[in-house]
Amino acid sequence: MHPDVEKLFASEEELKQIIARLGRQITADYAGKMPIFVGVLRGCFVFMADLVRACDLPCTIDFMVVSSYGAGTTSTGAVKIVKDLTENIEGRDVIIVEDILDSGNTLSYLRKYMMARKPASIRIVTLLDKPERRTADVKADYVGFAIPDAFVVGYGLDYNEKYRNLPYIGVLKPEIYS
């Protein structure tokens, strides 16, 4: 384990099992359809790569870069779209892929923003759900697992752009970000 991580939250094997479960659920729900997975970069990139491979259905992908954190550990509440979609989502089944659902501000904003483009449907899949921190009225349709209010890194999640490459999810030592 990385020396800056105080404890393991989800091992590589646990993550594989969670992704397989989510892939089965999405495959069943979208049978006969071709959804577009929209990843919210940067944190989702590892999760999304594994998730789309676990879904046994035709699909397309696109990405958005959205910011509400800056270099801190909590959301500023102000959502800024840095990179918009390149695909037209009108009439499409959209699955927003997020690494962690925290305050909900970003996903609430994105859902409204995308609804204006008239998709057939929008659902949200998140690897981690942190309900204790929710301030916006948003709920994921597919959840890997709920976590307590701890600062986690690894498997795409970062602190100040570090730790994304860890193959597991761990709780970062508070002295690193305090």
Q: Which residues are catalytic?
A: 102
How far, in Å, CA of 134 to CA of 38, rounded? Answer: 22
111 touches 141 (CB < 8 A): no
108 touches 133 (CB < 8 A): no
Q: Taking Cα atoms as reference points, which of 24, 86, 83 lies closest to residue 51?
A: 24
- In the DSSP assignment, the letter for residue 71 is T
Mark residue 169 as left, alpha or beta (left: phi above 0; alpha: psi -120 to 50; beta: remaining).
beta
Q: Kindly report the number of other CB atoms within 10 A of residue 105's CB atom.
A: 18
How far, in Å, CA of 131 to CA of 33, rounded? Answer: 30
